[in-house]
Structure 1
Amino acid sequence: MWKDSGMAAQHPRPPARVGRPRALGPSESELSPRDEVLAAAAELFTENGYAATTTRAVAEKAGLRQASMYHYFARKEDILATLLESTVEPSLRLATALLARPGADPAARLWALAAADAALLHRGLYNLGALYQLPEVRGERFAGFRGARAELRAAYGELLELIAPGEPGRELRCDLLLGLVEGGVAVVRDRGRGGGEDGYGTAEVGAAVADAVLRLAGCDRAAREAAARAGRELP
Protein backbone atom coordinates (compact mmCIF):
# COMPACT_ATOMS: atom_id res chain seq x y z
CA MET A 1 0.00 0.00 0.00
CA TRP A 2 1.42 3.38 -1.01
CA LYS A 3 1.75 6.00 1.66
CA ASP A 4 4.32 8.46 2.85
CA SER A 5 6.10 5.92 4.98
CA GLY A 6 9.66 6.83 4.16
CA MET A 7 9.87 4.47 1.18
CA ALA A 8 13.59 4.98 1.39
CA ALA A 9 15.29 7.92 3.00
CA GLN A 10 17.84 9.63 0.84
CA HIS A 11 20.37 8.85 3.51
CA PRO A 12 19.73 5.22 4.58
CA ARG A 13 20.46 4.34 8.17
CA PRO A 14 22.04 0.89 8.40
CA PRO A 15 23.30 -0.41 11.74
CA ALA A 16 26.51 1.21 12.86
CA ARG A 17 29.62 -0.63 11.73
CA VAL A 18 33.01 -0.97 13.30
CA GLY A 19 35.31 1.48 11.57
CA ARG A 20 37.81 4.24 12.06
CA PRO A 21 37.64 6.42 15.19
CA ARG A 22 35.93 9.78 15.12
CA ALA A 23 37.92 12.96 15.38
CA LEU A 24 35.50 14.49 17.86
CA GLY A 25 34.42 11.47 19.86
CA PRO A 26 31.03 9.72 19.70
CA SER A 27 28.33 11.34 17.60
CA GLU A 28 25.14 12.60 19.22
CA SER A 29 23.11 11.45 16.22
CA GLU A 30 21.93 7.92 15.52
CA LEU A 31 23.70 7.82 12.17
CA SER A 32 26.61 5.51 11.47
CA PRO A 33 29.88 7.24 10.55
CA ARG A 34 29.26 6.41 6.87
CA ASP A 35 25.85 8.05 6.97
CA GLU A 36 27.26 11.03 8.87
CA VAL A 37 29.54 11.54 5.86
CA LEU A 38 26.59 11.30 3.45
CA ALA A 39 24.50 13.74 5.48
CA ALA A 40 27.37 16.20 5.76
CA ALA A 41 28.12 15.96 2.05
CA ALA A 42 24.46 16.42 1.12
CA GLU A 43 24.39 19.70 3.04
CA LEU A 44 27.69 20.99 1.72
CA PHE A 45 27.18 19.93 -1.90
CA THR A 46 23.75 21.54 -2.12
CA GLU A 47 24.54 24.70 -0.16
CA ASN A 48 28.16 25.42 -1.13
CA GLY A 49 28.45 23.58 -4.44
CA TYR A 50 30.08 20.28 -5.28
CA ALA A 51 33.24 21.71 -6.83
CA ALA A 52 33.77 24.12 -3.93
CA THR A 53 33.42 21.41 -1.27
CA THR A 54 36.58 19.59 -0.22
CA THR A 55 36.78 16.16 1.35
CA ARG A 56 38.35 17.84 4.36
CA ALA A 57 35.25 20.01 4.78
CA VAL A 58 33.00 16.96 4.52
CA ALA A 59 35.05 15.08 7.10
CA GLU A 60 35.02 18.01 9.51
CA LYS A 61 31.26 18.45 9.10
CA ALA A 62 30.80 14.73 9.81
CA GLY A 63 33.05 14.87 12.87
CA LEU A 64 35.66 12.57 11.37
CA ARG A 65 39.33 12.80 10.56
CA GLN A 66 39.87 13.06 6.82
CA ALA A 67 41.81 9.79 6.83
CA SER A 68 38.94 8.12 8.68
CA MET A 69 36.46 9.25 6.05
CA TYR A 70 38.47 7.44 3.39
CA HIS A 71 37.65 4.21 5.20
CA TYR A 72 34.10 4.67 3.89
CA PHE A 73 34.59 6.63 0.66
CA ALA A 74 37.83 6.66 -1.31
CA ARG A 75 36.95 9.77 -3.34
CA LYS A 76 34.56 12.70 -3.31
CA GLU A 77 33.01 11.26 -6.48
CA ASP A 78 32.04 8.12 -4.55
CA ILE A 79 30.11 10.19 -2.03
CA LEU A 80 28.22 12.07 -4.74
CA ALA A 81 27.45 8.86 -6.63
CA THR A 82 26.03 7.26 -3.50
CA LEU A 83 23.84 10.28 -2.80
CA LEU A 84 22.53 10.43 -6.36
CA GLU A 85 21.81 6.71 -6.52
CA SER A 86 19.83 6.98 -3.29
CA THR A 87 17.39 9.33 -5.05
CA VAL A 88 16.64 6.87 -7.86
CA GLU A 89 17.09 3.27 -6.73
CA PRO A 90 14.06 3.11 -4.36
CA SER A 91 11.78 4.42 -7.12
CA LEU A 92 13.28 1.98 -9.61
CA ARG A 93 12.60 -0.93 -7.25
CA LEU A 94 9.00 0.24 -6.92
CA ALA A 95 8.68 0.62 -10.69
CA THR A 96 9.89 -2.95 -11.17
CA ALA A 97 7.29 -4.21 -8.69
CA LEU A 98 4.52 -2.21 -10.36
CA LEU A 99 5.42 -3.44 -13.84
CA ALA A 100 5.25 -6.99 -12.51
CA ARG A 101 1.52 -6.49 -11.85
CA PRO A 102 0.01 -6.49 -15.35
CA GLY A 103 -3.51 -6.99 -13.99
CA ALA A 104 -3.47 -3.67 -12.14
CA ASP A 105 -4.81 -0.50 -13.73
CA PRO A 106 -1.85 1.18 -15.50
CA ALA A 107 -3.08 4.63 -14.47
CA ALA A 108 -3.11 3.52 -10.83
CA ARG A 109 0.40 2.12 -11.22
CA LEU A 110 1.60 5.35 -12.81
CA TRP A 111 0.00 7.34 -9.99
CA ALA A 112 1.69 5.15 -7.36
CA LEU A 113 5.10 5.46 -9.00
CA ALA A 114 4.92 9.22 -9.52
CA ALA A 115 3.60 9.83 -6.00
CA ALA A 116 6.33 7.76 -4.37
CA ASP A 117 9.06 9.16 -6.61
CA ALA A 118 8.06 12.75 -5.87
CA ALA A 119 7.76 12.00 -2.16
CA LEU A 120 11.27 10.54 -2.13
CA LEU A 121 12.72 13.67 -3.71
CA HIS A 122 10.74 15.97 -1.41
CA ARG A 123 11.36 14.11 1.83
CA GLY A 124 15.08 14.76 2.18
CA LEU A 125 16.31 17.82 4.01
CA TYR A 126 18.56 18.76 1.08
CA ASN A 127 17.61 19.06 -2.58
CA LEU A 128 19.79 16.33 -4.05
CA GLY A 129 17.82 16.51 -7.29
CA ALA A 130 19.59 19.80 -7.95
CA LEU A 131 22.83 17.84 -8.32
CA TYR A 132 21.57 15.88 -11.33
CA GLN A 133 22.80 18.54 -13.76
CA LEU A 134 26.36 18.79 -12.46
CA PRO A 135 28.85 18.41 -15.33
CA GLU A 136 30.73 15.85 -13.24
CA VAL A 137 27.72 13.52 -13.41
CA ARG A 138 28.51 12.89 -17.08
CA GLY A 139 31.69 11.06 -15.98
CA GLU A 140 32.22 7.31 -15.96
CA ARG A 141 31.92 7.06 -12.16
CA PHE A 142 28.26 8.05 -12.44
CA ALA A 143 27.30 5.52 -15.12
CA GLY A 144 25.40 3.52 -12.50
CA PHE A 145 23.29 6.50 -11.53
CA ARG A 146 22.63 7.47 -15.14
CA GLY A 147 21.70 3.88 -15.97
CA ALA A 148 19.28 3.62 -13.06
CA ARG A 149 17.68 6.92 -14.01
CA ALA A 150 17.32 5.74 -17.61
CA GLU A 151 15.65 2.54 -16.39
CA LEU A 152 13.25 4.59 -14.28
CA ARG A 153 12.42 6.75 -17.29
CA ALA A 154 11.77 3.61 -19.33
CA ALA A 155 9.40 2.33 -16.64
CA TYR A 156 7.45 5.58 -16.77
CA GLY A 157 7.35 5.17 -20.55
CA GLU A 158 5.98 1.62 -20.33
CA LEU A 159 3.15 2.73 -18.06
CA LEU A 160 2.45 5.73 -20.27
CA GLU A 161 2.20 3.44 -23.30
CA LEU A 162 -0.24 1.17 -21.47
CA ILE A 163 -2.48 4.15 -20.73
CA ALA A 164 -2.32 5.63 -24.23
CA PRO A 165 -1.06 2.94 -26.62
CA GLY A 166 0.25 4.22 -29.92
CA GLU A 167 -0.04 7.87 -28.92
CA PRO A 168 2.36 9.97 -31.03
CA GLY A 169 5.22 11.78 -29.34
CA ARG A 170 5.70 9.14 -26.65
CA GLU A 171 9.42 9.86 -26.16
CA LEU A 172 8.81 13.57 -25.74
CA ARG A 173 5.92 12.99 -23.37
CA CYS A 174 8.03 10.58 -21.36
CA ASP A 175 10.77 13.20 -21.01
CA LEU A 176 8.18 15.78 -19.99
CA LEU A 177 6.68 13.36 -17.49
CA LEU A 178 9.99 12.68 -15.76
CA GLY A 179 10.76 16.39 -15.85
CA LEU A 180 7.40 17.08 -14.24
CA VAL A 181 8.19 14.79 -11.31
CA GLU A 182 11.71 16.09 -10.73
CA GLY A 183 11.03 19.70 -11.66
CA GLY A 184 7.73 19.86 -9.82
CA VAL A 185 9.40 18.88 -6.58
CA ALA A 186 12.21 21.37 -7.21
CA VAL A 187 9.68 24.20 -7.60
CA VAL A 188 7.99 23.24 -4.35
CA ARG A 189 11.33 23.03 -2.56
CA ASP A 190 12.10 26.61 -3.58
CA ARG A 191 9.66 27.60 -0.84
CA GLY A 192 11.92 26.04 1.78
CA ARG A 193 14.35 23.23 2.36
CA GLY A 194 12.01 20.32 1.77
CA GLY A 195 11.13 17.71 4.34
CA GLY A 196 7.99 19.72 5.13
CA GLU A 197 9.81 23.03 5.66
CA ASP A 198 8.28 24.42 2.46
CA GLY A 199 4.85 24.32 4.06
CA TYR A 200 3.64 21.18 2.31
CA GLY A 201 3.44 17.64 3.59
CA THR A 202 5.41 15.07 1.64
CA ALA A 203 2.31 12.94 0.98
CA GLU A 204 0.51 16.06 -0.28
CA VAL A 205 3.33 16.85 -2.69
CA GLY A 206 3.47 13.27 -3.91
CA ALA A 207 -0.27 13.15 -4.59
CA ALA A 208 -0.28 16.54 -6.35
CA VAL A 209 2.63 15.60 -8.61
CA ALA A 210 1.03 12.23 -9.39
CA ASP A 211 -2.22 13.95 -10.36
CA ALA A 212 -0.32 16.28 -12.69
CA VAL A 213 1.44 13.28 -14.24
CA LEU A 214 -1.91 11.65 -14.99
CA ARG A 215 -3.12 14.89 -16.57
CA LEU A 216 -0.10 14.78 -18.86
CA ALA A 217 -0.93 11.14 -19.62
CA GLY A 218 -4.36 12.27 -20.84
CA CYS A 219 -6.50 10.97 -17.96
CA ASP A 220 -9.70 12.86 -17.25
CA ARG A 221 -10.79 13.81 -13.74
CA ALA A 222 -12.80 10.66 -13.07
CA ALA A 223 -9.93 8.46 -14.25
CA ARG A 224 -7.43 10.39 -12.12
CA GLU A 225 -9.55 10.09 -9.01
CA ALA A 226 -10.05 6.36 -9.56
CA ALA A 227 -6.33 5.91 -10.19
CA ALA A 228 -5.43 7.77 -7.01
CA ARG A 229 -7.73 5.58 -4.93
CA ALA A 230 -6.35 2.40 -6.45
CA GLY A 231 -2.77 3.69 -6.49
CA ARG A 232 -2.78 4.20 -2.74
CA GLU A 233 -3.28 0.45 -2.37
CA LEU A 234 -0.28 -0.46 -4.55
CA PRO A 235 2.06 -2.19 -4.98
Structure 2
Amino acid sequence: MAGRGAAGGTGGRRRADGSRSESPRDEIIRVAARLFAEQGYAATTMKGIAEAAGLRQPSVYYWFRDKEALLHATASVNRFSAQVVVGLGKSPASVPARLYRLLFEDTKHICELAPLDYAEVERVAYARPDEFAEFWSDYRALYDGIVELVTAGMRTEEFHQGDPSMAGVVALGMNEGLQKLHRYRSGAGGPLGLPAPVPELADPVAVAHSSAGTTLSALLADPSRLGGVRDEAMEIELEGAGEEPTP
Protein backbone atom coordinates (compact mmCIF):
# COMPACT_ATOMS: atom_id res chain seq x y z
CA MET A 1 0.00 0.00 0.00
CA ALA A 2 2.97 2.23 0.51
CA GLY A 3 6.01 2.57 -1.72
CA ARG A 4 7.09 0.15 -4.43
CA GLY A 5 10.68 0.00 -3.26
CA ALA A 6 13.64 2.31 -3.03
CA ALA A 7 15.08 4.15 -5.95
CA GLY A 8 18.55 3.26 -7.05
CA GLY A 9 21.19 4.37 -4.60
CA THR A 10 20.80 5.46 -1.00
CA GLY A 11 20.91 9.21 -1.36
CA GLY A 12 17.16 9.67 -1.81
CA ARG A 13 15.26 10.89 -4.84
CA ARG A 14 16.12 14.21 -6.42
CA ARG A 15 14.03 17.25 -5.54
CA ALA A 16 12.67 19.67 -8.14
CA ASP A 17 15.34 22.16 -7.07
CA GLY A 18 18.12 19.64 -7.68
CA SER A 19 18.88 18.89 -4.01
CA ARG A 20 18.39 15.47 -2.43
CA SER A 21 16.46 14.35 0.62
CA GLU A 22 17.72 11.63 2.94
CA SER A 23 14.23 10.12 3.27
CA PRO A 24 11.83 11.31 0.58
CA ARG A 25 9.08 8.92 1.65
CA ASP A 26 9.07 10.20 5.23
CA GLU A 27 9.18 13.78 4.00
CA ILE A 28 6.19 13.20 1.71
CA ILE A 29 4.23 11.73 4.63
CA ARG A 30 5.14 14.65 6.88
CA VAL A 31 4.13 17.24 4.27
CA ALA A 32 0.92 15.40 3.43
CA ALA A 33 -0.12 15.25 7.09
CA ARG A 34 0.35 19.01 7.36
CA LEU A 35 -1.61 19.73 4.19
CA PHE A 36 -4.41 17.34 5.13
CA ALA A 37 -4.74 19.23 8.39
CA GLU A 38 -4.47 22.73 6.90
CA GLN A 39 -6.55 22.25 3.75
CA GLY A 40 -8.59 19.14 4.43
CA TYR A 41 -8.20 15.82 2.68
CA ALA A 42 -10.53 16.59 -0.24
CA ALA A 43 -8.82 19.88 -1.12
CA THR A 44 -5.29 18.46 -1.00
CA THR A 45 -3.85 17.23 -4.29
CA MET A 46 -0.87 15.06 -5.11
CA LYS A 47 0.48 17.98 -7.13
CA GLY A 48 0.20 20.24 -4.10
CA ILE A 49 1.95 17.68 -1.91
CA ALA A 50 4.78 17.37 -4.43
CA GLU A 51 5.22 21.14 -4.63
CA ALA A 52 5.22 21.54 -0.84
CA ALA A 53 7.79 18.76 -0.51
CA GLY A 54 9.99 20.25 -3.23
CA LEU A 55 9.61 17.15 -5.40
CA ARG A 56 8.40 16.42 -8.89
CA GLN A 57 4.92 14.90 -8.98
CA PRO A 58 6.12 11.57 -10.48
CA SER A 59 8.41 11.19 -7.46
CA VAL A 60 5.40 11.26 -5.13
CA TYR A 61 3.62 8.66 -7.26
CA TYR A 62 6.73 6.50 -7.12
CA TRP A 63 6.19 6.08 -3.38
CA PHE A 64 2.39 6.32 -3.18
CA ARG A 65 0.02 5.24 -5.93
CA ASP A 66 -2.74 7.65 -4.86
CA LYS A 67 -3.77 10.15 -2.22
CA GLU A 68 -5.67 7.62 -0.13
CA ALA A 69 -2.61 5.37 0.14
CA LEU A 70 -0.72 8.40 1.39
CA LEU A 71 -3.43 9.20 3.92
CA HIS A 72 -3.20 5.64 5.21
CA ALA A 73 0.55 6.03 5.62
CA THR A 74 0.14 9.18 7.71
CA ALA A 75 -1.79 7.10 10.24
CA SER A 76 0.04 3.79 10.10
CA VAL A 77 3.45 5.29 10.82
CA ASN A 78 2.07 6.60 14.11
CA ARG A 79 -0.25 3.87 15.31
CA PHE A 80 1.00 1.83 18.21
CA SER A 81 -2.04 1.02 20.33
CA ALA A 82 -2.06 -2.59 19.14
CA GLN A 83 1.47 -2.89 20.55
CA VAL A 84 0.27 -1.54 23.89
CA VAL A 85 -2.27 -4.38 24.04
CA VAL A 86 0.56 -6.88 23.63
CA GLY A 87 2.72 -5.13 26.20
CA LEU A 88 -0.05 -5.05 28.79
CA GLY A 89 -0.64 -8.75 28.28
CA LYS A 90 2.74 -9.33 29.93
CA SER A 91 1.96 -7.15 32.94
CA PRO A 92 1.03 -8.59 36.37
CA ALA A 93 -0.98 -5.45 37.16
CA SER A 94 -4.66 -5.66 38.03
CA VAL A 95 -7.26 -5.80 35.28
CA PRO A 96 -8.66 -2.31 36.02
CA ALA A 97 -5.15 -0.83 35.97
CA ARG A 98 -4.32 -2.46 32.65
CA LEU A 99 -7.56 -1.24 31.09
CA TYR A 100 -6.95 2.28 32.39
CA ARG A 101 -3.45 2.30 30.92
CA LEU A 102 -4.63 0.98 27.56
CA LEU A 103 -7.31 3.64 27.25
CA PHE A 104 -4.89 6.32 28.43
CA GLU A 105 -2.20 5.36 25.91
CA ASP A 106 -4.62 5.13 23.00
CA THR A 107 -6.24 8.49 23.73
CA LYS A 108 -2.91 10.24 24.26
CA HIS A 109 -1.56 8.71 21.08
CA ILE A 110 -4.39 9.78 18.81
CA CYS A 111 -4.41 13.24 20.42
CA GLU A 112 -0.74 13.60 19.56
CA LEU A 113 -1.54 12.90 15.91
CA ALA A 114 -3.11 16.38 15.81
CA PRO A 115 -3.41 18.38 13.67
CA LEU A 116 -3.96 15.23 11.60
CA ASP A 117 -7.66 14.31 11.74
CA TYR A 118 -7.89 10.69 12.85
CA ALA A 119 -11.57 10.64 11.86
CA GLU A 120 -10.55 11.48 8.29
CA VAL A 121 -8.27 8.47 8.22
CA GLU A 122 -11.12 6.28 9.45
CA ARG A 123 -13.48 7.68 6.83
CA VAL A 124 -11.21 6.59 4.00
CA ALA A 125 -10.53 3.26 5.71
CA TYR A 126 -14.26 2.56 5.83
CA ALA A 127 -14.59 3.35 2.14
CA ARG A 128 -11.73 1.03 1.13
CA PRO A 129 -11.56 -1.69 3.80
CA ASP A 130 -9.65 -4.22 1.69
CA GLU A 131 -6.83 -1.80 0.98
CA PHE A 132 -6.79 -0.65 4.60
CA ALA A 133 -6.75 -4.17 6.03
CA GLU A 134 -3.68 -3.45 8.17
CA PHE A 135 -5.32 -0.37 9.65
CA TRP A 136 -8.43 -2.35 10.59
CA SER A 137 -6.37 -5.25 11.91
CA ASP A 138 -4.65 -2.88 14.34
CA TYR A 139 -7.97 -1.31 15.27
CA ARG A 140 -9.54 -4.71 15.91
CA ALA A 141 -6.59 -5.73 18.08
CA LEU A 142 -7.19 -2.63 20.22
CA TYR A 143 -10.93 -3.28 20.45
CA ASP A 144 -10.41 -6.96 21.31
CA GLY A 145 -7.88 -5.99 23.97
CA ILE A 146 -10.39 -3.66 25.61
CA VAL A 147 -13.18 -6.25 25.48
CA GLU A 148 -10.96 -8.96 26.95
CA LEU A 149 -10.04 -6.75 29.90
CA VAL A 150 -13.64 -5.71 30.49
CA THR A 151 -14.72 -9.35 30.35
CA ALA A 152 -12.01 -10.30 32.85
CA GLY A 153 -13.07 -7.49 35.19
CA MET A 154 -16.69 -8.60 35.07
CA ARG A 155 -15.64 -12.17 35.77
CA THR A 156 -13.80 -11.11 38.94
CA GLU A 157 -16.69 -8.77 39.83
CA GLU A 158 -14.36 -5.77 39.88
CA PHE A 159 -16.56 -4.29 37.15
CA HIS A 160 -20.33 -3.98 36.96
CA GLN A 161 -21.96 -6.75 34.97
CA GLY A 162 -22.96 -5.85 31.43
CA ASP A 163 -22.13 -6.32 27.76
CA PRO A 164 -18.33 -6.26 27.29
CA SER A 165 -18.66 -5.73 23.54
CA MET A 166 -20.74 -2.59 23.95
CA ALA A 167 -18.41 -1.38 26.71
CA GLY A 168 -15.54 -1.66 24.22
CA VAL A 169 -17.43 0.39 21.64
CA VAL A 170 -18.29 3.07 24.19
CA ALA A 171 -14.68 3.26 25.42
CA LEU A 172 -13.34 3.74 21.90
CA GLY A 173 -16.04 6.30 21.18
CA MET A 174 -14.91 8.25 24.23
CA ASN A 175 -11.27 8.13 23.12
CA GLU A 176 -11.98 9.22 19.56
CA GLY A 177 -14.51 11.88 20.52
CA LEU A 178 -12.12 13.54 22.94
CA GLN A 179 -9.37 13.38 20.30
CA LYS A 180 -11.61 15.41 18.00
CA LEU A 181 -12.26 18.01 20.69
CA HIS A 182 -8.54 18.17 21.47
CA ARG A 183 -7.74 18.75 17.80
CA TYR A 184 -10.27 21.56 17.58
CA ARG A 185 -9.03 23.10 20.85
CA SER A 186 -5.45 22.98 19.55
CA GLY A 187 -6.42 24.71 16.30
CA ALA A 188 -7.57 28.17 15.31
CA GLY A 189 -10.54 28.07 17.68
CA GLY A 190 -8.38 27.46 20.74
CA PRO A 191 -7.75 31.12 21.62
CA LEU A 192 -11.52 31.66 21.45
CA GLY A 193 -12.16 28.83 23.89
CA LEU A 194 -13.67 26.62 21.20
CA PRO A 195 -15.18 24.07 21.16
CA ALA A 196 -15.53 24.43 24.95
CA PRO A 197 -13.86 26.71 27.53
CA VAL A 198 -11.91 23.83 29.06
CA PRO A 199 -8.15 24.51 29.01
CA GLU A 200 -7.37 20.84 29.71
CA LEU A 201 -8.61 19.97 26.22
CA ALA A 202 -5.35 21.35 24.85
CA ASP A 203 -3.28 18.88 26.91
CA PRO A 204 -3.10 15.31 25.49
CA VAL A 205 -2.16 13.86 28.89
CA ALA A 206 -5.09 15.53 30.65
CA VAL A 207 -7.46 14.42 27.89
CA ALA A 208 -6.14 10.85 28.11
CA HIS A 209 -6.65 10.71 31.88
CA SER A 210 -10.16 12.11 31.48
CA SER A 211 -11.08 9.47 28.92
CA ALA A 212 -9.63 6.54 30.86
CA GLY A 213 -10.96 7.83 34.17
CA THR A 214 -14.49 8.34 32.88
CA THR A 215 -14.67 4.84 31.43
CA LEU A 216 -13.22 3.20 34.54
CA SER A 217 -15.54 5.19 36.82
CA ALA A 218 -18.50 3.77 34.92
CA LEU A 219 -17.16 0.21 35.00
CA LEU A 220 -15.78 -0.13 38.53
CA ALA A 221 -18.07 -1.87 41.00
CA ASP A 222 -16.38 0.29 43.65
CA PRO A 223 -15.72 3.71 42.05
CA SER A 224 -13.75 4.82 45.11
CA ARG A 225 -10.92 2.62 43.78
CA LEU A 226 -10.34 4.92 40.80
CA GLY A 227 -7.46 6.88 42.33
CA GLY A 228 -5.56 3.72 43.21
CA VAL A 229 -6.29 2.19 39.81
CA ARG A 230 -4.90 5.27 38.10
CA ASP A 231 -1.74 5.23 40.23
CA GLU A 232 -1.17 1.53 39.56
CA ALA A 233 -1.83 2.00 35.85
CA MET A 234 0.78 4.70 35.43
CA GLU A 235 3.39 2.55 37.17
CA ILE A 236 3.09 -0.23 34.59
CA GLU A 237 6.22 -0.75 32.52
CA LEU A 238 5.13 -1.45 28.98
CA GLU A 239 7.05 -3.94 26.88
CA GLY A 240 6.84 -3.98 23.11
CA ALA A 241 5.29 -0.52 22.85
CA GLY A 242 6.88 2.74 21.88
CA GLU A 243 8.25 1.78 18.48
CA GLU A 244 5.77 2.68 15.80
CA PRO A 245 4.81 -0.05 13.37
CA THR A 246 6.22 0.31 9.88
CA PRO A 247 3.52 0.84 7.25
Q: TM-score, normalised by structure 2?
A: 0.76
Partner of 1:155: 145
SS of structure 2 residue aligned to 1:71:
helix
Partner of 1:222: 224
Amino acid at match of 1:66: Q
Amino acid at match of 2:140: A
Task: Check 1:25–1:191 CA distance in 2 against 1; reply closer, same or farther (3 A cut).
Answer: farther
Partner of 1:42: 33
Amino acid at match of 2:99: L
CA deviation after TM superposition for structure 1 residue 145, in Å: 0.6
Partner of 1:64: 55
Find 1:22's aligned residue among 6, 9, 15: 15
Deviations for 1:190-222, whole angstroms, at most 9, x for unmatched residues? Answer: 21239x999533222222222112123235443
Partner of 1:203: 205
Task: Check 1:87–1:162 CA distance in 2 against 1; reply closer, same or farther (3 A cut).
Answer: farther
SS of structure 2 residue aligned to 1:228:
helix
Mapping of 1:1-235 within 5 angstroms? 18-24=11-17, 32-88=23-79, 90-101=80-91, 103-135=92-124, 137-139=126-128, 140-165=130-155, 167-193=161-187, 199=199, 200-218=202-220, 220-234=222-236, 235=238
Deviations for 1:60-114, whole angstroms, at most 9, x for unmatched residues? Answer: 12221112223332332221121232353x111011110233x321111111111
Task: Check 1:233–1:31 CA distance in 2 against 1; reply closer, same or farther (3 A cut).
Answer: farther
Q: Mark the structure with the bigger radius of gyration.
A: 2
Structure 1: gaps spanning 5 or more residues: 1-16
The two structures, once aligned, show a CA RMSD in angstroms of 2.7
Mean Cα deviation higher: 40-49 or 179-188: 40-49
Structure 2: gaps spanning 5 or more residues: 1-9, 194-198, 239-247
**1:127 touches 1:193 (CA, 8 Å); kept in 2?**
no
Mean Cα deviation higher: 47-56 or 110-119: 47-56
**1:46 touches 1:131 (CA, 8 Å); kept in 2?**
no
Q: TM-score, normalised by structure 1?
A: 0.79
